[in-house]
Structure 1
């Protein structure tokens, strides 16, 4: 049967009409202000060499050969998970194939029927998808607003029957680059016997070991979700938490149970990258990134662009350019000038909140930062 369903064709046409049609495009040789490779680890030969040395000592396999519960749980897994739980100071670590797999696996199986999930209204799509697969009820609270969360929980406790309440946020939000007051959230959750989950995908490496560790909140967090495809420069993710949580996920997280494990090379790369973060080389990359973030914000002020940009002290900087056509046009102008900066279009973000998402890296220069901002000022 060669025909394509009419309903699906109409949805594709609608995307084209709204200037929000997505395509896979080849990589271009442009100055990188778009990737999540915040520290530049994915492109350094030092990490490749360190990864190869670990592989020589630990594995003769190229592929995983099966799921972790069958033949894929090679020795590097236990070495890395032991390293991660010590590095982040948690009781256990469990590796998943991606941040998406970790979030879908966790939220689809941990919250149960008669439980309630409260999630920040700007939470990542992978968490939303996991929540949809859960039997628990779910409610969103206003972005980074503890008072709204408190009010909603008070109402729930007055009228609804429930068994457990889970609260989830991100430490750095991928579409705004901002952060909640996770110390306040952790304190609130602990005082009210709520299970607190933090997704640290865009904080790990940018803020060292992430904001949970930086603020010494490990004992107040039920689960910390970390990913390795961003500042760590590799692929995969892990859920950090208690030993019983790890045992539960091994038994019930379908995205772990029913998928082929990561290949030894991926595991070795994650281990090598974390080892880099503990030595002077890695620490210098983190410091260089922090300097670039500071310089970016200084230059925004100097060029009187503050009204265009959202406030952010993370590696993600957002320029609000309303309308899919306008933001796509500015992105093309920047690319034609040699800079890889991508537009974020509706419906990924609400209509009227379209934006340029600028990702800063340790390897970006001050000159590149200044040139990008001047182009935005001249053409925005």
Structure 2
């Protein structure tokens, strides 16, 4: 699969959503209250929230750290920095987009994006397995028509597009590229193809694909060369990149709109320099260590091979590091997880209502640092447990 070269500027699509964003920003500009990030500045500080002077790393002993511990305020007040701007420029180029905007977490990014991107006339169609942060964003938006489609079903999505995608009505499709509970991969090519046919915008949460798929950990959208078909991507750094924070990548128009309207960006203290540096270092490390990702995918293949050879049933179909064993009921899930923990194996028991009733599971995450011996031990223990699904 061909991957577009980083830094390629994509053409702006003149769809209903784009026109709405342009109108809202132009209206705010005419009113004289268009928000812009201030330039980083130095001088005597009479504007930050660093009341005790601790954000710069100064401890009670007077000793400081190499990088500030706090940002002192929101990006629109005292919290902007050249370091943040430089990282956003890197993220935009690395993810083949015009611009990027940092958020404090993936939850904040999805909340900010999906609460302000739709308006009350927009129709939102979302995968039924979308993360809670996406659902919360939709709930906080002024949308009056939001409908879920069956998980990874392009057919069900098209039926809803036929019904709700009327001329002049903005339509927004929300989904994840890799789903956090199932480990399933979205049919991105089919969904973006439908979006183009019906004039819909697409938002993709790449939380569990960033760092794992695509050259340099760019994600599944970029691996498939679909950047121009996706309006916004959310990349979070608390998973494969091993740090904290998130970014939304998209057009310059989109990022300017979020700076002006995304409340989870506007009204929160910015990421500190330490966190920004950790994100930059993580991207650099992944780029320098491609064998690490290969090792992870090899372990996933070994895990799936062992499931097949051992005839183990009840597992969700996944070629990602997320492997889920459906256990049937909260009590059975807790019991099985407890048995594994008593043998020194840490797994997550995911219970309803976090997942639908009857879809309770053990959620197992594979890592590049796990060994085949550890996988064998896990599967041996699961094979010996009296679970009817095994």
Q: 1:227: which partner in 2?
A: 236
Larger helix fraction of residues: 1
Aligned with 2:357 (options 351, 356, 378): 351
1:75-113 deviation per Cα after TM superposition (whole angstroms, max 9, x unaligned): 110111011111111111101000000000011111011
Q: Which secondary structure state, in structure 2, belongs to the residue aligned with residue 339 of structure 1?
A: coil
What CA deviation, in whole Å up to 9, does each residue of 1:134-178 have, x standing for no partner?
Answer: 1112110111011111111111247xx862000011000011010
Match of 1:111 in 2: 118
Shift of 1:352: 1.4
Q: How much has 1:376 moved relative to structure 2?
A: 1.0
Match of 1:99 among 93, 103, 106: 106
**Structure 1 unaligned blocks of 5 or more:** 1-57
Give how far 1:60 is off: 4.7
Q: Which runs of 4+ in 1 moved over 3 A?
A: none
Q: 1:114 and 1:351 mapped to 2: Cα distance?
A: 33
Give the drift of 1:375. Answer: 0.9
- Provide the C-alpha distance between the structure 2 equivalents of 1:155 and 1:245, rounded to a whole number of angstroms: 27
2:128 and 2:201 map into 1 onto residues whose CA distance is 18
Query: Is this contact kept in 1: 2:204–2:230, CA < 8 A?
Result: yes
- Tell me if structure 2 keeps the 8 A contact 1:114–1:162: no
Task: Please give the alpha-carbon distance, in whole angstroms, between the structure 1 residues aligned to 2:230 and 2:357.
Answer: 34
| CA displacement, residues 299-340 of structure 1 (integer Å, 9 cap, x when unaligned) | 1011111x2101100110010000111110110110111110
Matches within 5 A, 1:161-240: 163-207=169-213, 208-240=217-249
Relative to the length of structure 2, the TM-score reads 0.80
Give the length in aligned residue pairs: 318
| Structural RMSD (CA) | 1.3
* 8 Å CA contact 1:59, 1:264 repeated in 2: no
Q: Structure 2: where are the runs of 5+ without partners?
A: 1-64
* Distance in 1 (alpha carbons) for counterparts of 2:318 and 2:146: 28
Whether the 8 Å CA contact 1:116–1:162 is kept in 2: the answer is no
Q: How does 1:1-380 map to 2 (within 5 A)?
A: 60-136=67-143, 137-157=145-165, 163-207=169-213, 208-279=217-288, 281=289, 283-305=290-312, 307-379=313-385, 380=387
Contact conserved, 1:113 with 1:135, CA < 8 A, in 2? yes
In 1, Cα distance between equivalents of 2:113 and 2:249: 11
- Measure the CA separation in 1 of the matches of 2:320 and 2:165: 36
- Could you say if the C-alpha distance between residues 291 and 163 of structure 1 is closer, same or farther in structure 2, counting changes exceeding 3 Å? same
Give me the whole-angstrom Cα distance separating, in 1, the residues matched to 2:85 and 2:321. Answer: 31
Whole-angstrom CA distance in 1 between matches of 2:110 and 2:300: 28
CA distance in 2, matches of 1:127, 1:325: 29
CA distance in 2, matches of 1:87, 1:300: 36
SS of 1:69's equivalent in the other structure is coil
Q: Distance in 1 between matches of 2:250 and 2:223?
A: 16
Name the SS of the counterpart of 1:318 in structure 2.
Answer: strand
Secondary structure at the counterpart of residue 124 of structure 2: strand
Question: Take 2:256 and 2:141, find their aligned partners in 1: how far apart are those partners?
Answer: 19
Is the Cα–Cα contact under 8 Å of residues 323 and 365 in structure 2 kept in the other structure? Answer: yes
Secondary structure at 2:355 match in 1:
coil
Displacement of 1:122 after TM fit? 0.7
Q: 1:211 to 1:70 in 2, by over 3 A?
A: same
Highest RCO, 1 vs 2 (Cα 8 Å, sep ≥ 6): 1
Aligned pair in 2 of structure 1 residues 157, 232: CA closer, same or farther (>3 Å)? Answer: closer
1: distance between equivalents of 2:66 and 2:263? Answer: 27
Q: C-alpha distance in 1, partners of 2:197/2:356?
A: 34
Q: Secondary structure at the match of 1:129?
A: helix
The equivalent of 1:23 in structure 2 is none
